[in-house]
């Protein structure tokens, strides 16, 4: 029997076979089947069939155990199982299976340090580090629409059929088994509990009350940083059961890769650490401040706070610390041998560079943050604010750029929003969220004085409304009143000391002074 996994990191599990047969059917889970088919045909694949096997599998390769696999390229790696229960992959790992009830069940895995067993997960590590604002399934992109209060939308990959699927408010979106997992936001823009809902927006269920960051859905578990317990690492089952604490470090920039969790340890000057997904083998990997960590193909890429936030990489065993360029970077996202990042040395514009440090180029002339890479598109927020920045998409080759939600530039739409929100204000005069929504509509119309008035009223109603302070700061910036903007960002940080949009606003105004 053969087991396949692709270069992108999807291992093909649930191997169903007849132990006595000369043929083995291998479900192709999470793989670009067209590319894989071509590779296999060139390497001697004798048969390819299509099956309907649940919601995960579209095609199955049926492979003769005598097939000569010498001509297969490095795109895929292959393991041959004899009549025993042992699979050996590329000489670097031994997977021990037992044949049970018509399927091979993995019981142990012995591997060297350079091999990582990768499981299907709900979103990429790079997107999760950038707040998980976009995720793709099939020819649909699901995303958090900042221009409609963080509600969840979908749009086809060609930009058509824009559809709101839920009025639920959330970030850190992930899709697994036709479920959307996300972290809810409250009216202050602060993370709340974890939820999941059907991919059509129905059947929403709260999983727990933990204020969560970096939510990652991997192999039947939800891993996350629990703000409710001092930013410690936690995991639960995807149904919310078996809630388990994994460490006692204040942890940020969490990546779940295979059976390891990588994170920056705030208690140790943001140095890079890793720990097993069961909480064992806590290991320190470097002695430098590591921001925006992305772990891909046995390398960790990060912004080095000890060297002016320059771009670095280090092997996941802690060796080969390597500087890649001289840019001051943030918001990096690594995908398909490319690193996408905001170049703070060039006003936060979107840049791209290969993972070996070559082929550096600029993709746009717009300040770009919260970089999410989905298919052939990059999704970014213009400017530093997740709260009110325009969400747009640009092709990875920079050949095309467009606003993901055309309503963000539709004046008539925002005029209508003002009218509707004024009706809400009259009906709910003591609801501060109505005032903030009104201010956002005014802000998009360029009516900054009216926006200031709306935000001030929201703060008068609720002095702890973080989003109101941040948006008031943005309105003051638009008016050129940076001193007053600075005060509002400081007010927001008094309430939420680590809230990124407030920190970004504060830094931006200070840099302009």
What is the count of structural domains for the chain?
3
Residue 118 falls within a domain, yes or no?
Answer: no
Residues 255 and 327 in one domain: yes
406, 417 contact by CB (below 8 A): no
Residues 373 and 420 in one domain: no
The alpha carbon of 431 is separated from its chain's Cα centroid by a whole number of angstroms, namely 32
Rounded to 5 degrees, what angle do the CA atoms 43, 44, 50 make? 100
pLDDT for residue 228 is more than 50: yes
91 φ, ψ (degrees, to nearest 5): 70, 0
Kindly state the tokens that stand for 165: 């699927």
Residues 389 and 354 in one domain: yes
Phi-psi region of 47 (alpha: psi -120 to 50; beta: other; left: phi over 0): beta
Residues 396 and 438 in one domain: no
Query: Given this model, what pLDDT does residue 371 score?
Result: 94
Residues 404 and 426 in one domain: no
Residue 246 falls within a domain, yes or no?
Answer: yes
Residues 278 and 418 in one domain: no
The alpha carbon of 275 is separated from its chain's Cα centroid by a whole number of angstroms, namely 20
pLDDT in tens, 102-143: 343 444 444 444 444 444 578 999 999 999 999 988 888 898
Tell me the mean pLDDT in the region 403-422.
62
Q: Given 49, 84, 110, which residue is the final one in a domain?
A: 110
Range of the domain at 54: 2-110
Burial letters 399-427, b for 16+ CB under 10 A, else e: eebebbbebbeeeebbeebbeebeeebee
Tell me the mean pLDDT in the region 87-92.
33
480, 447 contact by CB (below 8 A): no
Between 83 and 158, name the one with better pLDDT: 158
Report the CATH number that the domain containing residue 420 is assigned in CATH.
Answer: 1.25.40.10
Q: Where are the alpha helices (DSSP H) in 152-270?
A: none
pLDDT for residue 433 is more than 50: yes
In this prediction, residue 302 has a pLDDT band, given cuts at 50, 70 and 90, of very high
Residue 313 falls within a domain, yes or no?
Answer: yes
pLDDT for residue 209 is more than 60: yes
Residue 56 falls within a domain, yes or no?
Answer: yes
Residues 387 and 448 in one domain: no
Q: Tell me the range of 12-21, 61-70, 145-154, 383-392 where mean pLDDT is highest.
A: 145-154
Query: Given this model, what pLDDT does residue 411 score?
Result: 57
Residues 437 and 479 in one domain: yes
- Residue 4: name the closest of 21, 48, 295 by CA: 48
- Residue 259: name the closest of 281, 234, 236, 287 by CA: 281
Query: Given this model, what pLDDT does residue 301 score?
Result: 98
Please tell me the distance from the alpha carbon of residue 409 to that of residue 401, in angstroms, as a whole number: 14
Residue 115 falls within a domain, yes or no?
Answer: no
Q: Given 79, 110, 141, which residue is the final one in a domain?
A: 110
275, 255 contact by CB (below 8 A): no
Please tell me the distance from the alpha carbon of residue 65 to that of residue 6, in angstroms, as a whole number: 20
Residue 318 falls within a domain, yes or no?
Answer: yes
Report the CATH number that the domain containing residue 177 is assigned in CATH.
Answer: 2.120.10.60
68, 82 contact by CB (below 8 A): no
Q: Given 408, 436, 459, which residue is the final one in a domain?
A: 408
Residues 376 and 416 in one domain: no
What's the chain's average pLDDT? 75
Tell me if the pTM is above 0.75: no
Residues 97 and 156 in one domain: no
Please report the sign of the dihedral spanned by the C-alpha atoms of residue 29, residue 31, residue 37, residue 40.
negative
Residues 222 and 330 in one domain: yes
Please tell me the distance from the alpha carbon of residue 409 to that of residue 175, in angstroms, as a whole number: 29
Residues 399 and 492 in one domain: no
Query: Given this model, what pLDDT does residue 436 score?
Result: 85
Residue 120 falls within a domain, yes or no?
Answer: no
């Amino acid at each position: 029997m053969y087991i396949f996994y692709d270069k992108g990191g999807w291992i093909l599990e649930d191997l169903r076979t007849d132990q006595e047969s000369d043929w083995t059917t291998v479900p192709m889970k999470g793989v670009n089947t067209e590319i894989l088919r071509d590779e296999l045909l060139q390497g001697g694949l004798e048969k390819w069939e299509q099956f309907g096997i649940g919601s995960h599998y579209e095609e199955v390769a049926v492979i003769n155990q005598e097939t000569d696999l010498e001509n297969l390229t490095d795109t895929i790696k292959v393991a041959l199982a004899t009549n025993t229960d042992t699979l050996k992959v590329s000489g670097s790992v031994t997977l021990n299976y037992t044949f049970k009830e018509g399927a091979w069940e993995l019981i142990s895995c012995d591997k060297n340090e350079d091999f990582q067993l990768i499981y299907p997960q709900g979103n990429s590590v790079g997107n999760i580090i950038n707040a998980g604002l976009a995720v793709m399934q099939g020819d649909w992109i699901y995303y958090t629409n900042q221009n409609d209060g963080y509600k969840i939308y979908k749009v086809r990959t060609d930009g058509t059929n824009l559809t709101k699927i839920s009025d639920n408010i959330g970030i850190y979106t992930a899709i697994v088994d036709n479920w959307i997992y996300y972290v809810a936001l409250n009216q202050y823009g602060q993370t709340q509990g974890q939820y999941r809902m059907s991919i059509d927006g129905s059947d929403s269920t709260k999983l727990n009350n933990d204020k969560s960051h970096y939510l990652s859905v991997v192999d039947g578990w939800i891993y996350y940083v629990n703000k409710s317990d001092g930013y410690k690492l936690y995991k639960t089952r995807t149904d919310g059961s078996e809630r388990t604490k994994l460490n006692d470090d204040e942890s940020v920039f969490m990546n779940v890769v295979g059976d390891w969790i990588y994170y920056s340890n705030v208690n140790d000057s943001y140095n890079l650490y890793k720990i097993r997904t069961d909480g064992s083998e806590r290991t320190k990997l470097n002695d430098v401040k590591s921001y925006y960590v992305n772990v891909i193909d046995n390398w960790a890429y990060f912004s080095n706070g000890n060297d002016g936030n320059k771009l670095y990489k280090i092997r996941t065993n802690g060796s080969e610390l390597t500087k890649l360029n001289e840019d001051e970077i943030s918001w990096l996202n690594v995908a398909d041998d490319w690193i996408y990042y905001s170049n703070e040395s060039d006003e936060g514009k979107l840049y791209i560079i290969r993972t070996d440090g070559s082929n550096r180029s600029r993709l746009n002339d717009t300040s770009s943050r919260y970089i999410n890479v989905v298919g052939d598109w990059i999704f970014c927020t213009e400017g530093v604010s997740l709260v009110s920045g325009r969400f747009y998409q640009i092709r990875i080759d920079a050949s095309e750029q467009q606003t993901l939600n055309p309503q963000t530039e539709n004046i008539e739409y925002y005029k209508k929003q003002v009218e509707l929100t004024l009706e809400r204000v009259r009906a709910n005069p003591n609801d501060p969220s109505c005032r903030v929504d009104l201010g956002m509509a005014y802000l998009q119309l360029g009516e900054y004085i009216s926006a200031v008035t709306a935000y001030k009223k929201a703060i008068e109603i609720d002095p702890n409304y973080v989003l109101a302070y941040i948006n008031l700061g943005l309105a003051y910036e638009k008016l050129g009143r940076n001193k007053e903007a600075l005060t509002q960002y400081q007010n927001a940080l008094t309430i939420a000391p680590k809230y990124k949009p407030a920190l970004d606003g504060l830094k931006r105004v200070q840099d302009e002074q």
